[in-house]
């Protein structure tokens, strides 16, 4: 009688055990997703090794792949982005967004979509302003490529001239007016951005060949992934934060859509003043301003 009781107790526990038990067990055994799938045919019980994302292929089989491979498989039609899978695995979602934010070609399509969709542009610029106000360091990531690259610098100056509030703020700033009327010093004009003298500029790279990368062949499938992020308010704010924390991405974004980005910053009184303070510390930028001023 005692042994029967123990037998039935074991059976009951086996049905009520938390799925996390199986997940931890698989984690220890490092079994393949295919083996896990054969055992339970339940995606919620499948785990991947650290640094890998779970993708259910079109044939129904699960696979654990790196973030870059995850996007390539979707692009080539071997699988589709499943928001239900990622919503239950926030660490995987973060890894995917970080990979997307650092991918030049994918972000080119993202910026292109923004410029064609006014509501998305407004949302993005709103996040840009609020997150820059919460973290002033992000403004440095945004302004670094604009102030350091000679071509972007000239475009930035023209954008500032066309912004009445910024022009008035500059004229009323005694330090700024005194600085721009000083004699020019030995400047780095004409040098590349990496030679620019800037004490606060982060390290970054600008890849002007991203459009010709050829890594992705089906932008519509990539836009479908982005769309799932757009309709999730928390997810899109996280994505915008990752984009702004990535100096190389901000360099590319500045190249594509500097004017709306700058105007959003200059419309805000607090950020406008922070922008002026940072520009005053940028050696090459201020020399360009002095050069433009002396040529009038």
One DSSP character per residue, 184-205 reads: P-S--TTS-GGG--BSSPPP--
Beta-carbon count within 10 A of 271 CB? 19
Rounded to whole angstroms, how far apart are CA atoms 116 and 137?
Answer: 29
Q: Which DSSP category does 55 fall into? A: E
Look at residue 19 in the predicted model and tell me its pLDDT.
45
Q: Average the pLDDT over 24-33 and give the result.
A: 51
Q: Average the pLDDT over 23-43 and give the result.
A: 55
Contacts of 264 (CB under 8 A, 6+ apart): 125, 126, 128, 129
Look at residue 121 in the predicted model and tell me its pLDDT.
93
Query: Which has the higher per-residue pLDDT, 279 or 25?
Result: 279
pLDDT confidence band for 124 (50 / 70 / 90):
very high
Rounded to whole angstroms, how far apart are CA atoms 249 and 255?
Answer: 10
234 φ/ψ angles, rounded to the nearest 5 degrees: -70, -40
Look at residue 240 in the predicted model and tell me its pLDDT.
92
- Pair of tokens at residue 101: 């934010």
> Is residue 93's pLDDT more than 70?
yes
Percent of the chain with pLDDT over 90: 40
Domain spans, the chain = 17-101, 104-294
Closest by CA to 160, choosing from 251, 262, 279, is 262
Q: Per residue in 40-69, pLDDT tens?
A: 566 777 788 889 998 888 877 888 889 999
Look at residue 269 in the predicted model and tell me its pLDDT.
97
pTM greater than 0.95 = no
pLDDT confidence band for 27 (50 / 70 / 90):
very low
Look at residue 69 in the predicted model and tell me its pLDDT.
92
9-23, 51-65, 74-88, 259-273 — which is least confidently predicted?
Answer: 9-23
Look at residue 103 in the predicted model and tell me its pLDDT.
87
Rounded to whole angstroms, how far apart are CA atoms 224 and 185?
Answer: 51
Look at residue 192 in the predicted model and tell me its pLDDT.
42
Look at residue 130 in the predicted model and tell me its pLDDT.
95
Q: Alpha helices of the chain — where are they, by DSSP H?
A: 2-16, 19-29, 33-40, 67-75, 83-87, 90-101, 104-116, 118-134, 137-148, 150-161, 164-171, 174-180, 219-230, 233-245, 247-266, 269-280, 283-294
Residues in the chain, overall count: 296
Whether 209 and 200 have beta carbons less than 8 Å apart is answered as no
Q: Average the pLDDT over 82-101 and give the result.
A: 89
> Is residue 156's pLDDT more than 50?
yes
Q: Which DSSP category does 213 fall into? A: -
- Pair of tokens at residue 205: 């790279």
Whether 287 and 185 have beta carbons less than 8 Å apart is answered as yes
Q: Per residue in 268-285, pLDDT tens?
A: 999 999 999 999 999 999
Q: Average the pLDDT over 149-169 and give the result.
A: 95
Q: Average the pLDDT over 182-204 and give the result.
A: 60
95-109, 188-202, 249-263 — which is least confidently predicted?
Answer: 188-202
The chain-wide mean pLDDT, for the chain, equals 80
């Amino acid at each position: 009688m005692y042994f029967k009781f123990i037998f039935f107790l074991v059976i009951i526990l086996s049905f009520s055990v938390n799925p996390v038990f199986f997940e931890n067990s698989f984690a220890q055994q490092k079994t393949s997703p295919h083996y896990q799938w054969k055992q339970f045919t339940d995606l919620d019980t499948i785990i991947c090794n650290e640094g890998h994302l779970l993708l259910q292929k079109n044939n129904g089989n699960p696979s654990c792949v790196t973030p870059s491979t995850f996007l390539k498989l979707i692009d080539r039609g071997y699988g589709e982005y499943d928001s239900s899978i990622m919503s239950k695995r926030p660490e995987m979602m973060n890894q995917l967004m970080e990979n997307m934010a650092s991918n030049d070609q994918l972000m080119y399509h993202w910026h292109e979509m923004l410029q064609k969709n006014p509501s998305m542009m407004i949302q993005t610029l709103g996040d840009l302003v609020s997150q820059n106000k919460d973290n002033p360091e992000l403004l440095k990531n945004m302004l670094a490529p604009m102030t350091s690259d000679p071509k972007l610098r000239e475009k930035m100056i023209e954008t500032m001239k066309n912004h009445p509030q910024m022009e008035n703020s500059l004229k009323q700033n005694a330090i700024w007016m005194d600085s721009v009327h000083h004699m020019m010093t030995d400047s780095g004009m004409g040098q590349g951005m990496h030679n620019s003298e800037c004490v606060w500029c982060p390290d970054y790279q600008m890849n002007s060949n991203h459009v010709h990368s050829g890594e992705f062949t089906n932008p519509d499938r990539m836009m479908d992934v982005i769309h799932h992020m757009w309709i999730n308010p928390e997810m899109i704010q996280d994505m915008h934060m990752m984009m702004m924390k990535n100096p190389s991405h901000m360099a590319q974004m500045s190249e594509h859509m500097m004017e709306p980005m700058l105007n959003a910053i200059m419309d805000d009184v607090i950020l406008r003043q922070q922008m002026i303070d940072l520009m005053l510390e940028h050696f090459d930028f201020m020399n360009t301003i002095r050069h433009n001023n002396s040529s009038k």
